[in-house]
Amino acid sequence: MKLFGVLGDPVSHSLSPAMHNAAFKALGMDCEYHAFRVSPDSLRDAIHGAFALGFGGLNLTIPLKEKALEIVKPTELAKHIGAVNTVDFNNGMTGHNTDGIGAMKALEGGGVHVKGKNVLLLGAGGAARAIAFTLAAEGAIVTIANRTPERAISLAKDVGSAGKIRGCGLEDLKDLIKNSDILINSTAIGMSPKVTETIVTSDLMRRDLVVFDIVYNPLNTQLLQEARKAGAKTIDGVMMLVYQGAEAFKIWTGKTPPVVLMEKAVRARLS
């Protein structure tokens, strides 16, 4: 049997095991996927240990994506983004980033095209890096807004080679949203167990705004509830999870996973 896993801290909320195990079962593969709580200080030991034990591959979640760059050999894309969410052991320890493509496919699946659109991205962590880089490369005009403005400005500089990206704080949130076509939450705000939290409330939104929350547990986050109150179009975090997972699955196994089944497994677990 080949083992796979997701490392994070916290990680008990992860639905990656349900999603990947459903795909392995459907394809008749003798593989299992588990969640492991790993602190940033233990990440090097954990990745090297998984490699030594013959794991097939790993996913990384909060707060390990940026730290992994120092441990694995990143692809050019992961290096440009500045974060790793997928580690492949087929040829050494290679770090990939599938978050950006996951976000793009989630938006496209919701009928949203980003070229020429103003995107307000909340947060400046590992997922924000991938999303900002990918959307700017696709022609979006991206504003990264973070509670600590310096982090947003620094991130905008880091991934600015992709296209039009700037960073700022949250003090002008009302105007930032007013001038945006798409609002994306890439923070952990609203994630279980703190399900009543949100940065943006309905009074700041409008009907022609697209609101995409990458948090998927709970499925109906407070941000999405507020967006629906305002009549805005909403996209939940499940499809980003599924699409980034499907890309990782292809990297590890060379096989195309059953995306519809993966989505069903996640939604069933959430409901």
Q: pLDDT tens digits, the chain, 271 residues: what are they? A: 999 999 999 998 889 999 999 999 999 999 999 999 999 999 999 999 999 999 999 999 989 999 999 999 999 999 999 999 999 999 999 999 999 999 999 999 999 999 999 999 999 988 899 999 999 999 999 999 999 999 999 999 999 999 999 999 999 999 999 999 999 999 999 998 899 999 999 999 999 999 999 999 899 999 999 999 999 999 999 999 999 999 999 999 999 999 999 999 999 999 8
- Which DSSP state fits 215? -
On whether both 138 and 119 belong to a single domain, the answer is yes
| Cβ within 8 Å of residue 66, ≥6 positions away | 82, 83, 125, 126, 129
Which is the catalytic residue, given 65, 105, 157, 233?
A: 65
Residue 137: CATH number of its domain = 3.40.50.720
65 is catalytic: yes
Beta bridge partners of residue 143, listed in sequence order: 120, 166
Query: Is pTM, for the whole model, over 0.85?
Result: yes
Residue 246: CATH number of its domain = 3.40.50.10860
On whether both 16 and 92 belong to a single domain, the answer is yes
* Distance between CA atoms of residues 207 and 214, nearest Å: 20
On whether both 110 and 193 belong to a single domain, the answer is yes
Side-chain-facing half-sphere of 220: CA atoms under 13 Å? 5
Outline where 179-221 has alpha helix (H): none
Q: Residue 221 sits in which domain range?
A: 100-236
Q: How many distinct structural domains can be found in the chain?
A: 2
Closest CA to 212 of 239, 174, 246: 239
* Distance between CA atoms of residues 172 and 47, nearest Å: 41
